Structure 1
């Protein structure tokens, strides 16, 4: 995760308030926080979103993002 050098906004990520650079897309936010997009499912403001929308969806002040990491395994 990088320092923020410029305008920032506050969003809720997994229930916790965080600051991120203004103008990020959902995909940029996830990558900035260290998530591997192919290994997560995202709920954005109460809606589960397909990956195809992440790059074009702007993150705005007070948005809520819940990230669930997919874990492989089983028998």
Structure 2
């Protein structure tokens, strides 16, 4: 049985749901147990290349040698 593929909109909805739950006072430990949240995150990360990650980390102020995504 394969893993369900989430559309990008579904991934964003799951992350927003997690934000709302945290804002309502739920602990992060409880929120990370939201069904399919980690699968959605894993699939979202697959959309980014190593170069995308490196550029994002560099733009966020991390040193280039720390932003190696290999």
Instruction: Please state which structure has a larger fraction of its residues in strand.
Output: 1
The structure, 1 or 2, with the larger RCO (C-alpha pairs under 8 Å, 6+ apart) is 1
TM-score of the superposed pair, with normalisation by structure 1: 0.24
Higher helix share goes to which structure?
Answer: 2
TM-score (norm 2): 0.25
Structure showing greater radius of gyration is: 2
